[in-house]
Chains A and B, each alone.
Chain A
């Protein structure tokens, strides 16, 4: 069954359109994460689903019902705000009971539901406290509790963990994940923390300037990005990008291209594509993830890998993993990730190989060439 469907959604604030023709379909019970850089419209989209922001055009459908012009309270959605937005004058109990009291539910029912939510979230001990007497994590839990008691069809989270410290964040992330398994409701979660996105999501929606860049499972986006933006956005540290031009292209039985990197000699890579090949002279970008850059005495086994001489700028050694930040001779940045082998990373100059099977090719507009 469909949980939430957005069809041709647009949003303009006055003359400025900030959401451009967004189409997303979310299954019931799915955990979907919206990611994207600051100002890309994640919150706006979420608030439109919540009914806090009017929809300029398009249709929002929740479990088969067109709610585009329905009041927020009637859509069957709950929202957890970044700032928690707890009612400061009410106790934890009353904060969670508020919506049920407004709906004039019977007292015993309210008590039962609030206590159930408090039990799930380990808030039983704090029901009589005011929000100001709680820690950040506890406040966050109350905010989630307030969302739970309404038994909504859809939970909306807008960067709910960004005010917490790192450790608490990991813990709350697991709790949200557990909660999702427990109650099985559709959840839409906005963040710009990609670790949160990767760990929580069944499906990630990557947004940029109000346009959907790609929708897919976390690993799908990682392994098979549709464009340079997604490739650069998903993954930490970022994917490395090197520019080049097409030196030779064969279309025929096997579509191969030779690409000359904008680096000193000997850096021609040959790639096999399944789609149409770009013309000779086209500017392209090659991408490779930091963990796939090979260093040391590796030999060019399949004969296609590009070879680079890198100058080390600085190194981050975290024990289990090390990151070498380096520059190519033309000045492009390349980050190398090493898990076990720390031998080569102390050197000033590293010779590196970029294996073709790990290379991504993008055209000048950032679209993926496969």
Chain B
């Protein structure tokens, strides 16, 4: 702290440039979405000569965007809820309960954490197809609710709760569910919040699976839906950008609001990976 040394100034300049490079595409998308289409293709300017929000009006009223929003919110909320619920219970069982096969089960969870979800996509699709769940909410949600890393993070945190607390709760008459919900969960609200937010963002951003499992526009989520916009109307940059900006908005807002929690969660899960 205190004096700014030349090397610090250099570092500052460098990070500023890097930040600009990161931010530029975002800026460009927003600026483009606010230009009328002829201006987009006609000239190269960093600021709209005329502001035109008709692209947004188009996105809202002439596409299924609202429907896709609802689908995205619905599936993401459900996925987040289910992921947190089952991961918490699974993490608790792996961490605290004594049962035969516990170690093996934990190794299985660890192993499945090593498998990239993309590798499972084909077999999952076949499975969902056989269940007749293509183009249903169940089909979109179910394959996404298994996130081993959340289980592992919960297990780690539950492992570090002192044994005496659990024993005191047992003597006070708690069963396992009460110990989980009245003791372990309240003691780990912070981590639950962080994991919920990051799960929500991940499922909102998920593209591959919803893209495969939905073919009707009615069932699409935002990320899949926006790919349809270009197709049906030809390439219209301003409109595409407006749709993209609106699709990204909730996640961006969530990120800004919960910035600290998100970084915490990313650090937790990558800390375990590393």
Contacts and interface: CB of A to CB of B under 8 A. Distances in A.
Contact of A85 (B167, B182, B186): B167
B167 A102 contact: no
B11 interface: no
Among B169, B172, B182, max chain A CB count under 10 A is at: B172
Contacts of B187: 88-89
Contacts of A88: 187
A73 to B, nearest CB: 4
Interface string B129-149: 000000000000000000000
Given A88-B187, A89-B186, A89-B187, A102 B171 contact: no
A132 to B, nearest CB: 13
B168 to A, nearest CB: 4
Contacts of A85: 162, 164-165, 167-168
Contacts of B183: 87
Contacts of B102: none
B168 A81 contact: yes
Interface in A64-116: 72-73, 77-79, 81-83, 85, 87-89, 98-99, 102-103
A47 to B, nearest CB: 8
A52 interface: yes
Contacts of B103: none
A99 B172 contact: yes
A103 B167 CA distance: 17
A146 B167 CA distance: 13
Interface residues of A, number: 21
Given A83-B162, A87-B165, A89-B186, A78 B171 contact: yes
A78 B172 CA distance: 8
A51 B165 CA distance: 15
A143 to B, nearest CB: 8
A79 B171 CA distance: 8
A350 interface: no
B167 A98 contact: no
Contact of B173 (A50, A73, A83): A73
A150 B172 CA distance: 8
Given A85-B162, A88-B187, A89-B187, A79 B173 contact: no
A242 to B, nearest CB: 44
A93 to B, nearest CB: 14
Contacts of A83: 162, 164
A139 to B, nearest CB: 13
Among A79, A85, A99, A103, max chain B CB count under 10 A is at: A85
A137 B32 CA distance: 66
Contacts of B167: 50, 52, 72, 79, 81, 85
A194 to B, nearest CB: 25
Contact of A102 (B162, B165, B172): B172
A77 B173 contact: no
A210 to B, nearest CB: 21
Nearest to B172: A99
Contacts of A77: 171
Contact of B171 (A50, A82, A87, A103): A50
A87 B170 CA distance: 12
A82 B174 CA distance: 21
Given A89-B186, A102-B182, A150-B172, 7 more contacts: A72-B171, A73-B174, A79-B167, A85-B167, A87-B169, A102-B173, A146-B168
6 contacts: A52-B170, A72-B171, A73-B174, A87-B183, A88-B187, A98-B172
Interface of B: 162, 164-165, 167-174, 178, 182-183, 186-187
The 8 lowest CB-CB distance pairs between A and B, nearest first, are A85-B164, A99-B172, A73-B173, A85-B168, A102-B173, A89-B186, A81-B164, A72-B170
